[in-house]
């Protein structure tokens, strides 16, 4: 018997890429590859890349330099290595990647992953291959089914993780002026309800208890329902909530414009839908929001949050914020701080504006000086950090159902998630992995909670 080929996958960027990496590994697994954690040992290296900010894209090239050294060492020892660049940098830069980094054998955009085994073979034969088409066919329908055990290239999968991602929507037509996603992921496309439900059921048989439905604009979901009509995200969530053994549902990322009444109502009515909402607002100034083409005002955002909190008073809120968008004045930045103070977030991501090639904002005059943007980011992150710490501190003494997902750093400890997506550490035996148990919270930090399991 020949040794199976070894595959090494490195993932950058958002949860969507985490999901895609799993699907790519499965597609290659069905073609005889087994995964390795040791890059030196790999015949095939896949970098699943992110183009969202300059730093993320640059990281790919510095990695490629290091991987080239490994490839040369392997080749000197008579062993091959194919390097594939997938993801959003692949889509955005295409053949330019090979021009800059000739050690790369394959450049493959996010819409071609179902053809990966074939593309790897063709790249091997041709030396180089670039595939960044947006084909008509639905890649999800052509990726191998997600099953247990033997189907993954003869490799027995370990008992599945308790929480998983499931992409239900891809692409974006919103065209925020700073953002590359509409160019790297293409137009909005929603998967059919039946395909999602089937995948969800298979994941549940693999031990998954919590699903996060993913999409760049997940609340714009409008996939074909079993009745032949387009279903909303709220309808999809209600449908999936009926799957026995699936205990928790989440979704991300949402756009304020698509925060419909039925989705807000779902937070009141569907018990399995967790009290957590990631709703980016990007900036607090209406002039900047207009420049970003966000199509909502700061006040619209506050009104949406009021309605969400009426439906689910304990909901934990998260957001994305950009500082230093071109032309942002001090007063306009202060409006962002004000909006954060008004809403109060349990958690948030904040970034310095990064000009991206081909986006409208990149060619605007009055780019904000990097040191000014850095100062603003620091002030914003201080405020957000204080809010997060105080949200966590407010949990002390409460009892939360915690889904235990993995062993903790210390022996005899497990880490899980609260309904509010906080990491919770507790002393617990390994057989509690994958179970949801009440935990009394005894300590809190900026990053996480600690508590004691209260056995019934
Ligand atoms: N679809 C989501 C998220 C897209 S990317 C949404 O609409 O919110 C994730 C986050 O990266 C964005 O919310 C934004 O805050 C940030 N981001 C996107 N482009 C950026 C850029 N050019 N510079 C800095 N941050 C950016
Ligand atoms: Fe990018 Fe805006 Fe689309 Fe989000 S809504 S992916 S920020 S263009
Ligand atoms: Fe990055 Fe692409 Fe996700 S640019 S954030 S990996 S959609």
Atom 2 in ligand 2: which residue has the minimum CA distance?
A: 176
Provide DSSP, 151-203. Answer: GTTTPPPPSPPSEEEEE-EE------TT--HHHHT-S-EE--HHHHHHHHHHH
Least confident among 40-44, 150-154, 189-193: 150-154
pLDDT of 154 reads 34
Is ligand 2 within 6 A of the CB of residue 172?
yes
- Identify the residue with better confidence: 254 or 142: 254
Which atom belonging to ligand 2 lies closest to the Cα atom of 180?
A: 1
Which atom belonging to ligand 1 lies closest to the Cα atom of 320?
A: 15
Q: Which of 106, 110, 115, 131 is nearest to 43 (CA)?
A: 106
Atom 19 in ligand 1: which residue has the minimum CA distance?
A: 179
Cα–Cα distance measured from residue 427 to residue 444, given in angstroms and rounded to the nearest whole number: 15
pLDDT of 345 reads 98
Q: Which helix (H) or strand (E) holds 149?
A: none
Place 290 in a pLDDT band, splitting at 50, 70 and 90: very high
This prediction's pTM: 0.94
Rounded to 5°, angle at Cα 164 from 160 and 166: 130
Place 151 in a pLDDT band, splitting at 50, 70 and 90: very low
Cα–Cα distance measured from residue 106 to residue 416, given in angstroms and rounded to the nearest whole number: 38
Residues touching ligand 1 (Cβ under 6 Å) are 52-53, 172, 178-179, 181, 216-217, 253, 255, 280, 282, 320, 322, 351, 353-354, 356
State pLDDT tens for residues 177-225.
Answer: 999 999 999 999 999 999 999 999 999 999 999 999 999 999 999 999 9
Least confident among 149-153, 187-191, 293-297, 359-363: 149-153
Q: Biggest alpha carbon distance in the chain? A: 69
Place 147 in a pLDDT band, splitting at 50, 70 and 90: low
- The residue-averaged pLDDT of 136-164 equals 63
State pLDDT tens for residues 371-386.
Answer: 999 999 999 999 999 9
Phi, psi of 278 (to 5 degrees): -100, 105
pLDDT of 148 reads 45
- The residue-averaged pLDDT of 143-149 equals 66
Cα–Cα distance measured from residue 3 to residue 152, given in angstroms and rounded to the nearest whole number: 16
Ligand 1 site-directed mutation target among 179, 217, 363, 373, most atoms within 8 Å of CB: 179
- Alpha helices by DSSP H, listed for 30-158, are 54-76, 87-93, 95-100, 116-126, 139-142
Place 160 in a pLDDT band, splitting at 50, 70 and 90: low
Rounded to 5°, angle at Cα 431 from 430 and 435: 105
pLDDT of 142 reads 83
Place 40 in a pLDDT band, splitting at 50, 70 and 90: very high
Atom 1 in ligand 3: which residue has the minimum CA distance?
A: 50
Tokens in use for 247?
Answer: 């205990």
pLDDT of 455 reads 79
């Amino acid at each position: 018997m020949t040794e199976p080929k070894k595959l090494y996958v490195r993932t950058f960027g958002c949860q969507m890429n985490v999901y895609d990496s799993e699907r790519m590994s499965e597609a290659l697994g069905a073609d005889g590859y087994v995964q390795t954690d040791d890059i030196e040992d790999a015949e095939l290296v896949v970098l699943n890349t992110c183009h969202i900010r300059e730093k993320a894209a640059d990281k790919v090239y510095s990695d490629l330099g290091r991987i080239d050294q490994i490839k040369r060492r392997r080749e000197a020892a008579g062993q091959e290595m194919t390097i594939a660049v997938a993801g959003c940098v692949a889509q955005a830069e295409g053949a330019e990647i090979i021009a800059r980094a000739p050690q790369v054998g394959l450049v493959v955009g996010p819409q071609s992953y179902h053809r990966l085994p074939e593309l790897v073979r063709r790249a091997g034969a041709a030396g180089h291959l670039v595939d960044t088409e947006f084909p008509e066919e639905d890649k999800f329908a052509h990726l191998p089914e997600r099953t247990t055990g033997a189907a993954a290239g003869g490799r027995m999968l370990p008992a599945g993780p308790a929480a998983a991602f499931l992409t239900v929507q891809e692409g974006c037509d919103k065209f925020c002026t700073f953002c590359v996603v509409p160019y790297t992921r293409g137009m909005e496309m929603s998967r059919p309800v039946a395909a999602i439900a089937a995948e969800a059921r298979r994941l549940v048989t693999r031990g998954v208890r919590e699903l996060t439905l993913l999409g760049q604009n997940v609340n714009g979901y409008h996939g074909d329902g079993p009745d032949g009509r387009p279903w909303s995200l709220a309808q999809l969530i209600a449908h999936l909530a009926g799957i026995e053994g699936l205990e928790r549902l989440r979704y991300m990322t949402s756009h304020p414009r698509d925060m419909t009444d039925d989705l807000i109502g779902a937070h009141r009515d569907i018990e399995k839908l967790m009290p957590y909402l990631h709703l980016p607002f990007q900036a607090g100034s209406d002039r900047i929001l207009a420049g970003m083409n966000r199509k909502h005002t700061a006040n619209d955002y506050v009104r949406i949050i009021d309605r969400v909190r009426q439906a689910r008073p304990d909901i934990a809120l998260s957001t994305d914020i950009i500082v230093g968008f071109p032309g942002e004045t001090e007063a306009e930045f202060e409006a962002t701080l004000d909006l954060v103070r008004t809403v109060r977030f349990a958690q948030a991501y904040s970034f310095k504006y990064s000009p991206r090639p081909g986006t409208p904002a990149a060619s605007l005059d009055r780019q904000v000086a990097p040191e000014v943007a850095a100062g603003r980011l620091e002030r914003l992150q201080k405020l957000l950090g204080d809010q997060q710490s105080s949200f966590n501190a407010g949990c002390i003494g409460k009892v939360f159902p915690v889904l235990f997902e993995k062993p903790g750093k210390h022996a005899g400890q497990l880490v899980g998630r609260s309904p509010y997506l906080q990491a919770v550490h507790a002393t617990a035996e390994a057989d509690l992995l994958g179970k949801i148990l009440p935990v009394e919270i005894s300590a809190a930090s900026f990053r996480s909670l600690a508590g004691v399991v209260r056995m019934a």
